[in-house]
Amino acid sequence: MMDFLSQCRAVVGDAHVLDTAAGMAPFLTDQRGRHTGKALAVLRPGTVEQVAALVRACARHRVAVVPQGGNTGLVLGSVPDGSGTQVLLSLARLNRVRQVDAVNRTMTVDAGCILQHIQEAAAAEGCLFPLSLAAEGSCTIGGNLATNAGGTAVLRYGNTRELCLGLEVVTPQGEIWSGLRGLRKDNTGYDLRDLFIGAEGTLGIITGAVLKLYPQPKASITALAALPSPAAALQLLVLMQDRCGASLTGFELMSRYCLQLVAEQFPQLPKPFAAPHAQYVLLELSSSESEQHAVGLLEQAIGAALDSGVIDDAVVATSVSQSAALWQVREHIPLAQARAGKNIKHDISLPVSRIAEFIAVTGPKLDAAFPGCQLVCFGHLGDGNLHYNVAPPTGVSNEDFLLNQDKVNRVVYDSVEAFGGSISAEHGIGALKREELARYKSPVELNMMRAIKAALDPLGIMNPGKIL
């Protein structure tokens, strides 16, 4: 391996091949601190050509490569295994915004660009890059693409997949595929772009991308609605979409227990309603016209929902700053959970129309198996995406309850499968859910995935042990 590492040093310089324990440590533990891997070295290329040269060296020496962006993933996709034989390839130094084209509404970026910097560069040109998620201050667009990240703007703008027009990829052979096309229409052969998006670095390394930009909305206004049930939330969704179309940019469900947790852990936050309700929906409306248009449209729609008895009560923000205060309640749910102690998390999706039934059926099953367990159920209802987390019953310690993780997962995922849902809506598979994937995917689909993996990466050096 000395020969391999010298080749790496010849490519990127000594300073960018880290092989001491201290040098590698910041790269080897995952975001939630559940796994610390070992690596042969951490490689920090500064150009696409260096990435390609490093991968060629890896192919020659049969060294496995784990690509890493901001290392904010939640499924152990960007950390090495425990063997110490894999190299970690950090894209962090590839962090240039290469070009912004405000007329084509595109931006060409290096994979290592931090999401927030991309949002800011778009805004500086009067445009919106709509991808937005909790880790945006440290995650990179390459990681967002590799995991097809979701976030809070999917209802209107789609997942990361829908926000990308072209890619640059270093193949497992160390060649550079220059697919940086900024085209809205291009029907020339197989859709390789979408194959690399969401492949979590197992088919190649994304080094650059052409992203879609949108006009900046003039204003976004929110409301918080109180409802009797998830079924009522679905009625509200249909009503809002029919009346507001693409202006509806957010639709987040939160259960009574979620708001109770936030109130307990963050008593300083506003409490929008005097009495508790069974469910809440945070709605966001964006207008390309004006703040006044957004407020008027939202008030009319909320009025109609009240009149028809779909919702029990509502608070409508009448300004952008009031809207931000309502979003705070939603954003504090994960923080409140973390303060309250660990729980068993599920990032699931379902057909939107089946969510109420899923919630009605799955809760009692969990309660039967784990009497008194608490559900922290919230999420992007408009996308069918629930964060369906299970906390211990009163009096049971988090540590004891976590011993039930496999059994809890089985109840939840079996129910997800029965309702035609997905066991990973927006986080991906990584190493964490690999066995679950093998359990729930059909052999036909798994075999096609394996055939593609073997065809593009015959040496099996690209992020092995992830997904498949």
Site for its own copies in 274-293 (CB under 8 A): 286-289
The contact mask relative to its own copies for 81-120 (x = CB under 8 A, - = no) is: --------------------xxxxxx--------------
What single-letter DSSP state applies at residue 109?
A: E
- Strands 87-90 and 65-68 come out as parallel
Selected from 29, 47, 117, 179, the binder of its own copies by CB under 8 A is: 179
> Cα Rg for the chain, rounded, in angstroms?
23
Q: Which is nearer to its own copies, 207 or 374 (CB)?
A: 207
Rule CB under 8 A: is residue 272 a binding residue for its own copies?
A: no
Selected from 9, 35, 61, 243, the binder of its own copies by CB under 8 A is: 243
Rule CB under 8 A: is residue 78 a binding residue for its own copies?
A: no
Rule CB under 8 A: is residue 461 a binding residue for its own copies?
A: no
Output the smallest distance, CB 416 to its own copies, in A: 10
Segment interacting with its own copies (CB under 8 A) among 23-31, 57-65, 197-205, 261-269: 197-205
Selected from 217, 272, 464, 465, the binder of its own copies by CB under 8 A is: 217
Segment interacting with its own copies (CB under 8 A) among 3-11, 86-94, 261-269, 438-446: 438-446
Token code pair at residue 64: 């496995």
Rule CB under 8 A: is residue 25 a binding residue for its own copies?
A: no
Selected from 323, 349, 389, 409, the binder of its own copies by CB under 8 A is: 349
Site for its own copies in 292-331 (CB under 8 A): 297
Q: Which is nearer to its own copies, 44 or 193 (CB)?
A: 193
Selected from 224, 456, 461, 462, the binder of its own copies by CB under 8 A is: 456
What single-letter DSSP state applies at residue 216?
A: P
Segment interacting with its own copies (CB under 8 A) among 25-33, 111-119, 145-153, 324-332: 145-153
Output the smallest distance, CB 425 to its own copies, in A: 4
Selected from 121, 133, 195, 459, the binder of its own copies by CB under 8 A is: 195
Site for its own copies in 407-436 (CB under 8 A): 420-429, 433
Which is it for the CA torsion 228, 426, 187, 106, positive or negative?
positive
**Rounded-to-integer distance, Cα 197 and Cα 166, Å:** 10
**Rounded-to-integer distance, Cα 340 and Cα 333, Å:** 10
Q: Which is nearer to its own copies, 14 or 186 (CB)?
A: 186
**Alpha helix positions (H), 341-394:** 355-369
**Rounded-to-integer distance, Cα 407 and Cα 391, Å:** 14
Backbone angles phi, psi at 191, to 5 degrees: -80, 80
Applying CB under 8 A, what is the total number of residues that bind its own copies?
A: 97
Selected from 15, 21, 33, 190, the binder of its own copies by CB under 8 A is: 190
Residue found by looking up tokens 């129910």 in the block: 415
Check if the beta carbon of residue 233 is closer than 8 Å to that of residue 381.
yes
Check if the beta carbon of residue 55 is closer than 8 Å to that of residue 170.
yes
Rule CB under 8 A: is residue 229 a binding residue for its own copies?
A: no
**Rounded-to-integer distance, Cα 148 and Cα 159, Å:** 6
Selected from 3, 49, 120, 175, the binder of its own copies by CB under 8 A is: 175
Count of C-beta atoms within a 10 Å radius of residue 34: 11
> Of the candidates 195, 192, 103, 96, which has an alpha carbon nearest to the alpha carbon of residue 141?
96
**Rounded-to-integer distance, Cα 294 and Cα 285, Å:** 6
CB neighbour list of residue 444: distance below 8 Å, 6 or more residues apart? none
**DSSP-assigned letters across all residues of 217-281:** PSEEEEEEEEES-HHHHHHHHHHHHHHHGGGEEEEEEEEHHHHHHHHHH-TTS----SS--SEEE
Selected from 142, 383, 388, 389, the binder of its own copies by CB under 8 A is: 383
**Rounded-to-integer distance, Cα 274 and Cα 464, Å:** 53
Output the smallest distance, CB 366 to its own copies, in A: 22
Q: Which is nearer to its own copies, 31 or 349 (CB)?
A: 349
Q: Which is nearer to its own copies, 338 or 454 (CB)?
A: 454
Q: Which is nearer to its own copies, 18 or 236 (CB)?
A: 236
Q: Residue 22 — left, alpha, or beta (φ > 0 → left; ψ -120 to 50 → alpha)? A: alpha
Output the smallest distance, CB 284 to its own copies, in A: 14
Segment interacting with its own copies (CB under 8 A) among 53-61, 186-194, 260-268, 369-377: 186-194
